[in-house]
């Protein structure tokens, strides 16, 4: 929770006391720092859970094919057809607001992307000759999935997951900004932006007067997304032996 | 001729595929042949004639849209088609192994070559990891990979094509199979490496006394390696015989066509012969003899399926006109001489 530091409702510029200034009666520096924790929590939990669901659905659809594939992929299509933000808003409205509810909503509407990715990869790898070669060596079916198919399919998924981590935080921030997210006063970048909503256009004749109320939380988000993208890149370099020299 | 029992006896094998339109594609239709211990038999034919499908059927690895609809595959007196999947897994790689055409795609890119060969060894033999590694090194020495200890830790993309194929051979032979299926083992290699690999296979075959089914369309390799040759066309055997019979005394027009399409140094030729036309689509094989619409000897008889005719004790042909053709080819040989 971000403590209320002042009773003036207009934002106050950075000062030695409030390094990033004050918005919505709350210290932005405090919010940016503790908002990182929220970002990590949302990002990691949603990514891990939705990737696991996607992995499960996608590998069943990809490996067993036929009817499984048909049914699971049509369900995926249905979920993908719903605009994400709207769906999350509606779901959050049904479940009630709160960070956990937002995370549930984001998981429910987020598992399709890893599912599709892993299915496509499995379909491709399944036809590779080394899978046939492994079969010809007498490797058991489940070992083929674990040892030969998954290692060749999972890295793109992990990389995608690490990149999604960043974008999910943005989405969570967007939901907070729209008011269905963290409760009032909870340290969250989106909530901070929400406070500055009224001040974004600045004062009369001074468009940039309250710049600090958006720039600092915004910069935190940009850095967060950027660093996860870099992690994704690094993961790819580490995992793919073909890139090793 | 070998009088003891063959280690592999294929009888009337039929493998059909079913496409999305419900059509039946007879990829392998009524194929029978035997393989004896220690001998090399070559399956020869154009792409799509069913030679690879035959070999995959031996391991029961036909894709899910295909099915072995009939016939028998007897290996060491057990019927492979009646075994459970689990029993089959213990035969694959141990008693029958296979070398694939593209060594670069038949090795898993995310594991070192050593990991893969050790996996093959420990699958079928109860040995410790250390012991398996030692055997892998031995296998690498056997197939002539220099510096085996170091090579084991390399990934497939770090090895050359020839090295990869040697690695594949090492993997296939690591459990001393009785039967090795080599599906175009040298097609993707360049000529100098091809010769090395062939020599390697010949010497390993002698050392380990295993039978080899060689699948290829390269008649040069067939001539150096194979003892018996089975010529396939459009899912059927058209001619079968010892190497000498096939090369010197071919009786089927397709075999003759194949032999004529090899460039030869000893004959002056302006243009290389080729067989006119294309292999028919499996959904539209002609009635009777499947080669008849590309054959210059075709007549009304060919609408009926030709029977197996014995040219010699071990030389069979499926053609109505084999006598005429044989005469023709012998005369042709005389002209060349």
ipTM value of the model?
0.70
Q: How far is it, in rounded angstroms, from Cα A16 to Cα A21?
A: 9
Q: Let me know if residue B317 belongs to a domain.
A: yes
Mutation test of the interface with chain B: which of A121, A131, A137, choosing the one with the most B Cβ atoms within 10 A?
A137
- Do A139 and B97 make contact, defined as CB atoms within 8 angstroms? no
Residues 6+ apart with CB under 8 A from A213: A11, A21, A23, A28, A192, A195, A196, A199, A200
Q: Let me know if residue B301 belongs to a domain.
A: yes
Q: What is the mean pLDDT of residues B259-280?
A: 74
pLDDT in tens, B49-66: 888 888 888 888 887 788
A139 contact residues in B (CB cutoff 8 A): 89, 93, 119, 123
CA distance A140 to chain B (A): 7
A129 contact residues in B (CB cutoff 8 A): 100-102, 105-106
Q: Is the pLDDT of residue B2 over 60?
A: no
Locate B337 and state its tokens. Answer: 């001489």
Locate B89 and state its tokens. Answer: 């897994």
B109 touching A (Cβ < 8 Å)? yes
**pTM for the full model?**
0.73
Q: Let me know if residue B246 belongs to a domain.
A: yes
The pLDDT of residue A205 is 64
Residue of B nearest to A151 (CA): B110
The pLDDT of residue A219 is 86
Residue A141 φ then ψ, to 5°: -55, -50
pLDDT in tens, B118-128: 888 888 888 88
Q: Let me know if residue B194 belongs to a domain.
A: no
Q: Let me know if residue B207 belongs to a domain.
A: no
Alpha-carbon distances, residue B191 vs A68, B183, B218, B272 (angstroms): 46, 17, 12, 20
The pLDDT of residue B334 is 58
Residues 6+ apart with CB under 8 A from A181: A92, A97, A98, A99, A102, A172, A173, A175, A188, A190, A191
Domain that holds residue B321: 232-333
Q: What is the mean pLDDT of residues A68-86?
A: 86
Q: How far is it, in rounded angstroms, from Cα B143 to Cα B145?
A: 6
B182 touching A (Cβ < 8 Å)? no
Residue of B nearest to A64 (CA): B64
Locate B105 and state its tokens. Answer: 């795609």
Q: How far is it, in rounded angstroms, from Cα A173 to Cα A167?
A: 10
pLDDT in tens, A169-217: 888 878 877 777 777 777 778 777 777 777 766 666 666 677 777 788 8
Output Rg (C-alpha) for chain B, integer angstroms.
Answer: 21
Residues 6+ apart with CB under 8 A from A186: A1, A2, A38, A99
Could you give the number of structural domains in chain B? Answer: 1
Q: Give chain B's end-to-end CA distance (angstroms, integer).
A: 30
Q: How far is it, in rounded angstroms, from Cα A95 to Cα B52?
A: 58
A13 touching B (Cβ < 8 Å)? no
- Do B89 and A140 make contact, defined as CB atoms within 8 angstroms? yes
Q: Let me know if residue B124 belongs to a domain.
A: no
Helix (H, G, I), strand (E, B) or coil at A127: coil
pLDDT in tens, B105-161: 888 888 888 888 888 888 888 888 888 888 888 888 888 888 888 888 888 888 888
Q: Let me know if residue B62 belongs to a domain.
A: no
Q: Let me know if residue B84 belongs to a domain.
A: no
B60 touching A (Cβ < 8 Å)? no
The C-alpha angle with vertex A95 and arms to A92 and A100, in degrees rounded to 5, equals: 75
Contact B6, B193 (CB under 8 A): no
Q: How far is it, in rounded angstroms, from Cα B107 to Cα A117?
A: 23
């Amino acid at each position: 929770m971000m403590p209320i530091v002042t009773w003036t409702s207009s934002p106050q510029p950075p000062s030695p006391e409030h390094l990033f200034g004050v918005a919505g009666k709350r210290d932005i520096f405090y919010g940016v720092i503790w908002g990182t924790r929220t970002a990590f929590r949302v990002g990691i939990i949603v990514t891990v859970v939705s990737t696991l669901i996607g992995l499960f659905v996608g590998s069943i659809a990809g490996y067993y094919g036929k009817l499984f594939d048909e049914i699971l992929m049509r369900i995926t299509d249905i979920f993908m057809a719903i605009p994400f933000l709207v769906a999350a808003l509606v779901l959050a409205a049904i479940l009630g607001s709160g960070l956990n509810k937002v995370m549930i909503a984001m998981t429910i509407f987020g598992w399709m992307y890893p599912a599709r990715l892993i299915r496509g990869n499995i379909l491709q790898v399944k036809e590779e000759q080394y899978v046939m070669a492994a079969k010809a060596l007498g490797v058991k079916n489940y070992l083929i999935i674990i040892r030969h198919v998954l290692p060749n399919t999972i890295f793109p998924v992990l990389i995608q997951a690490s990149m999604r981590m960043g974008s999910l935080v943005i989405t969570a921030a967007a939901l907070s900004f729209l008011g269905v997210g963290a409760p009032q006063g909870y340290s969250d970048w989106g909530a901070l932006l929400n406070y500055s909503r009224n001040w974004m256009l600045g004062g009369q004749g001074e468009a940039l007067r309250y710049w600090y109320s958006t720039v600092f939380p915004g910069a935190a988000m940009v850095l967060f997304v950027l660093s996860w993208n870099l992690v994704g890149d690094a993961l790819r370099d580490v995992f793919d032996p073909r890139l090793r020299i | 001729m070998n009088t003891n029992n063959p280690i592999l006896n294929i009888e009337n094998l039929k493998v059909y595929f079913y496409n999305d339109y419900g059509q039946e594609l007879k990829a392998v239709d009524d194929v029978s042949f035997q393989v004896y211990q220690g001998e090399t038999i070559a399956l020869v034919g154009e792409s799509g004639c069913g030679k690879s499908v035959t070999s995959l059927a031996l391991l029961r690895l036909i894709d899910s849209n295909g099915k072995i609809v009939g016939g028998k595959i007897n290996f060491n007196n057990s019927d492979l088609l009646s075994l459970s999947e689990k029993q089959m897994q213990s035969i694959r790689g141990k008693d029958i192994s296979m070398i694939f055409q593209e060594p670069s795609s038949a090795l898993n890119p995310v594991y070192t070559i050593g990991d893969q060969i050790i996996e093959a060894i420990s699958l079928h033999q109860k040995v410790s990891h250390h012991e398996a590694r030692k055997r892998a090194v031995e296998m690498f020495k056997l197939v002539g990979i220099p510096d085996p200890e170091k090579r084991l830790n390399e990934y497939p993309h770090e090895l050359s094509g020839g090295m990869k194929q040697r690695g594949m051979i090492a993997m296939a032979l690591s459990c001393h199979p009785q039967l090795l299926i080599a599906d175009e083992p040298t097609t993707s290699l360049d000529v100098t490496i091809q010769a090395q690999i062939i020599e390697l296979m010949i010497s390993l075959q002698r050392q380990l006394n295993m039978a080899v089914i060689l699948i290829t369309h390269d008649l040069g390799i067939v001539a150096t390696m194979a003892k018996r040759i089975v010529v396939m066309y459009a899912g059927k055997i058209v001619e079968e015989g010892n190497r000498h019979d096939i090369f010197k005394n071919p009786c089927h027009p397709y075999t003759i066509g194949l032999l004529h399409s090899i460039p030869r140094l000893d004959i002056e030729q302006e243009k290389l012969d080729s067989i006119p036309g294309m292999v028919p689509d499996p959904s539209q094989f002609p009635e009777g003899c499947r080669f008849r619409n590309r054959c210059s000897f075709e007549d009304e008889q060919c609408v009926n399926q030709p029977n197996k005719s014995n040219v010699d004790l071990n030389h069979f042909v499926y053609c109505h006109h084999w006598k005429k053709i044989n005469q023709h080819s012998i005369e042709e040989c005389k002209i060349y001489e």
